[in-house]
Amino acid sequence: MRIKFILPIIVLLFASFTSLSAQRMQLNSPEIKEILKKNKTIVILDVRSPEEFAAGHLKGAQNIDIRQPDAYSKLNKLNPKTTYLVYCRTNHRSGMAVDYMMQKGFKNVYQMMDGFPGWAANNFAFEK
């Protein structure tokens, strides 16, 4: 009888600790810019199409088109202990990528909620 009572508590505690170890941070471009200034090791992932990427992207960004069949296998090859910034145009595709990454055990993932248009609208530097 005691085990039936204790087991759910143990499961809840375990779930609480595992969720605390992973962080999904949803921020807008001005906040992201400040974080990128402070942390030069963040890997930037642009999950838009190659055409959108070619029109403009954050400096140093890697392009993984989340709508392509091989996108998730590319994400699987990334180091889940590294910190990532993921962005797209609006936040829909980046949300799909970040959800997948969090399910796969990535620990620190920033999502730029205002996307590349927000970055550009703030007149922040980008590459073509």
Domain containing residue 86: CATH number: 3.40.250.10
> What pLDDT score was predicted for residue 17?
43
Domain assignment present for 8: no
**Contact at 8 Å (CB) between 117 and 76?**
no
Confidence of residue 123 (pLDDT cuts 50, 70, 90): very high
Q: How many domains does the chain have?
A: 1
The answer, yes or no, to whether residue 1 has pLDDT greater than 70, is: no
15 domain residue, yes or no: no
Q: Domain containing 38: what range?
A: 22-121
- pTM for the whole thing? 0.82
What does the pLDDT look like over 58-103, one tens digit per residue? 999 999 999 999 999 999 999 999 999 999 999 999 999 999 999 9
Q: Please give the helix or strand (H or E) that residue 100 lies within, else none.
A: helix 92-103
Q: How confident is the model at residue 24 (pLDDT cuts 50, 70, 90)?
A: confident
